[in-house]
Amino acid sequence: MSRVSINLLRTPVAHALLLLMVAFAWSPVAHAESLLIQADRLLDVETGEISPDARVLVVDGKIVGINPESIPQDARIVDLGDRTLMPGLIDSHVHLTSSGDDFTREILTENAAQAAMRGAESARVTLMAGFTTVRDLAQLIPSTTLIAVALADASDKGWIPAPRIITAGHALSITGGQIDPAMWVGSAEGILNLGPENGIADSIDELIKATRYQIKHGAKFIKIAVTGVMSQHGIAGVQQYSEQEIRAVVEEATRHGIRVAAHAVGAAGINAAIRAGVTSIEHGWMFDDESIRLFKKNGTYLVPTTRVAGVISLESPIVVPNLAKVAAAGVKIAMGSDASVTRHGDNANEIVAMVNLGLTPLQAIQAATIGAADMLGRPDRGRVQPGLLADLIAVDGNPIEDIRALANVAFVMKGGKIYKQPD
């Protein structure tokens, strides 16, 4: 050991650190908390079967047993009574840092700190609505700080009540494109001229730089706006990035183990994005027969955000296709509410809307559980099964019989911690 190292060990700080290390080394290992969650029913989201008199044993934040023969003597029993226990829901398309009440005001007047506080409240109400995981698909606040990344970190550390947050940082958009903040506020020339750090990129080199920036600062997904809706030309569905440009983003993200979501409304952009290898198509309302073929061939997910289609004001109203036909054609579907355009905390209304558009209740629930978990590459959630995260909710009634039950969640657990339970 060097003389410098020896001298450092003689400092008061070093002595304190050594004492702490010794204390931890000799202290007994903290006993993992055990909980037994009881309910009259348990929903198997893979089969749709309802099991009566369900008991789920949770230890140290994970599910360790279903109807176990024995339980730890010190297990705390949580009896939910006449309710259906099921996995926590997953919303694959939210924007936590926006409210949707006035995008222009938020973009122009709120800084990153204010948006973070707004996002924390959005995250709280989303968790209380039964969504234990969300994918935040881009912020509109023109700050180079990735606000949702900070929210995700705060959630992981237990600083705030929030879902597990998988974030995309800034979305990638052409100048004047779908997710260029300047287009949302209608700013004059010379104002809000943003670059790759904010996701605004107009060449392959800029797209790669923008992708690397988002990943460097904590993004776990990349979002690229392939077609327009709210863009400089105002025509829904016009393709804005070439297939070559999309492919460059997918290849760069893939090198980092990151998946790509594509905002795509028109068929040409949808098809180009699927051929380029994106994981999911967001919205995808104007797909064609070739799109269906490509969805099936590539295993690409559709996140249809059905309710927001009725909110967007265009010259020609957007009509969401019948989802039963989409699913029957072999297209994989994940649920996404686009909360911010719709209200945070009302996320489950999207699941109800998907049933109204043709999915069975089980198919819609699967889109918000096992389908979304698969699309996100998170096999540790979305089911009630030993070894998975203890992300659980309970609802009154039977959601297979009445999907509207999901809009009234009585119990929420994330990682073995109870955030909401009946009085």
Tens digits of residue pLDDT in 332-363: 999 999 999 899 999 999 999 999 999 999 99
Helix%, strand%, coil% for the chain, nearest 5: 35, 25, 40
Calculate ∠ Cα 303-261-128, nearest 5°.
Answer: 55
pLDDT score at 124: 98
DSSP state of 196: G
Least reliable range by pLDDT among 47-56, 176-185, 219-228, 351-360? 176-185
Percent of the chain residues past pLDDT 70, beyond the cut: 88
Distance of CA 290 to the CA centre of its chain: 28
pLDDT score at 105: 80
Distance separating alpha carbons of residues 406 and 399, to the nearest angstrom = 6
Whether pLDDT at 148 is above 90: yes
* Number of residues that this document lists for the chain: 423
pLDDT score at 24: 37
CA dihedral 177, 182, 248, 212 (to 10 degrees): -160
Q: Give the pair of three-digit tokens for residue 27.
A: 């202290």
Cβ neighbours of 235 (radius 10 Å): 14
pLDDT score at 13: 40
pLDDT score at 28: 37
Distance separating alpha carbons of residues 312 and 239, to the nearest angstrom = 18
C-alpha distances in angstroms, 373 versus 80, 88, 134, 181, 303?
Answer: 26, 11, 10, 30, 13
Distance separating alpha carbons of residues 113 and 136, to the nearest angstrom = 17
User: pLDDT-based confidence at 311, cuts 50/70/90?
Assistant: confident
pLDDT score at 246: 98
Whether pLDDT at 4 is above 50: no
Tens digits of residue pLDDT in 81-140: 999 999 999 999 999 999 877 777 888 788 999 999 999 999 999 999 999 999 999 998
Say which amino acid occupies 34: S
pLDDT score at 104: 77
Distance of CA 13 to the CA centre of its chain: 42
Q: Give the pair of three-digit tokens for residue 60.
A: 């140290």
Contact at 8 Å (CB) between 395 and 412? no
pLDDT score at 350: 97
Whether pLDDT at 19 is above 50: no
- Residue for token digits 């749709």? 48
Whether pLDDT at 190 is above 80: no
pLDDT score at 316: 55
Distance separating alpha carbons of residues 145 and 325, to the nearest angstrom = 41
Distance separating alpha carbons of residues 281 and 242, to the nearest angstrom = 15
pLDDT score at 97: 94
Distance separating alpha carbons of residues 100 and 255, to the nearest angstrom = 34
Contact at 8 Å (CB) between 75 and 38? no
Least reliable range by pLDDT among 74-78, 273-277, 307-311? 307-311
Strands of the sheet containing 164-167, edge to edge, are 89-94, 131-136, 164-167
Average pLDDT of the chain to the nearest whole number? 89
For residues 275-289, average pLDDT:
96
Distance separating alpha carbons of residues 300 and 79, to the nearest angstrom = 40
Cβ neighbours of 422 (radius 10 Å): 12
Whether pLDDT at 305 is above 60: yes
Q: φ, ψ for residue 124 (rounded to 5)?
A: -65, -50
DSSP state of 397: S
What contacts 14, CB < 8 A, 6 or more positions away?
8
User: pLDDT-based confidence at 25, cuts 50/70/90?
Assistant: very low
Helices (H), 76-191: 103-109, 112-128, 147-156, 181-185
Instruction: Name the strand (E) or helix (H) holding 333.
Output: strand 332-333
Whether pLDDT at 9 is above 50: no
Tens digits of residue pLDDT in 42-78: 999 999 999 999 999 999 999 999 999 999 999 999 9
For residues 399-411, average pLDDT:
97
Percent of the chain residues past pLDDT 90, beyond the cut: 77
